[in-house]
Amino acid sequence: MSLPKSVARAEVQYAIGHGVSPGLLTDVFSVSAEFFALASEEKQKVKIDMNNRGYVSVGGESLDPQAAPDIKEAFNVGREVTTSDPRVVAKKPFVGVNQWPRNPPRFRETLLAYYDACLTVARHVHRAMCVDLGIPTTFFDKGLEPSGSFLRLLQYPVSGGTAGAHTDYGNITLLAQDTVSGLEVLTRTDRVNWVKAPVVPGAFVCNIGDCLMRWTNNVYVSSPHRVRSVPGRVRRSVAFFCELDGDTVVECLPTCVGSDGPKYAPITVAAYLKQRLDATYAYRKSKV
């Protein structure tokens, strides 16, 4: 696979030529629509757990903890593991078995195929960033296998949906959008205005996340974004949140220290993810 090309639209970065087949993209949106069309009681059978796997109903999270709950549904899967996996046995945070609904058909196999395809893209992107950052190209490889990444299906209702202003938590996010726009990104210049991220067919929107910002000491800066979908059409997107293994310590890279030293204290991926998720989900707040 050749390295994905980056295309800039306003302040939004897209990746094209990424190698994920158009057929697989079509399939993942198809099974997403079928899943969200299930009865509420069926979806609640796989409601989200403390390992961040499963279904989130409308109003179940607030990506901006200071704002009203988001108007959207979601379904999360992580790397497929079994109950005998040593990390599961050791009860490592955010490592657990995925929750799979009985329907729709091909749901599990499609999501796992898409997960693996996105992880391949993420490996290439990380190696390209290593070149830019002046570190060995294999620096992130160990943390990417086993990966702590999550795949998330998202649906915003026909009445108009929202996702609060936030930054993503990990290293990078690869976001596929359907034909309905709604994603907005905060401008880097004035940090006040929001610009739309138009749909580019077959492309991924690429977001930098907080952990990569911490690794690079703000050489790369995470991108605040939100969703304001237009009433009249259902909006769907599929996000691949590339996270390193939970035990990985995120600390300033030696090539990014700068004259003022590191801006962030070292923290593990799992500890940082817990901080962010505890502030986002009502079900977690009652258990922390």
Q: What is the set of domains in the chain, with CATH numbers?
A: 5-285 (2.60.120.330)
**More reliable by pLDDT, 1 or 168:** 168
Secondary structure, 3-state, 186-218: ECCCCCCCEEECCCCCCCEEEEECHHHHHHCCC
- pLDDT for residue 216 is more than 90: yes
For residue 288, what pLDDT is reported?
43
For residue 284, what pLDDT is reported?
79
- pLDDT for residue 7 is more than 90: no
For residue 10, what pLDDT is reported?
45
Question: How far is the CA of 281 from the CAs of 80, 190, 235, 285, in angstroms?
Answer: 23, 30, 22, 7
- pLDDT for residue 282 is more than 60: yes
For residue 190, what pLDDT is reported?
77
Angle, helices 22-36 vs 107-133, to 10°: value is 130
- Please report the sign of the dihedral spanned by the C-alpha atoms of residue 273, residue 275, residue 281, residue 282: positive
Environment class of 223 (CB within 10 Å of its CB; exposed 0-12, middle 13-18, buried 19+): buried
- Would you call 185 helix, strand, or coil by DSSP? strand
Residue 281 confidence class, pLDDT cut points 50, 70, 90: confident
**pTM of model > 0.85:** yes
Report pLDDT digits (tens) over 221-254: 998 999 999 899 999 999 999 999 999 999 999 9
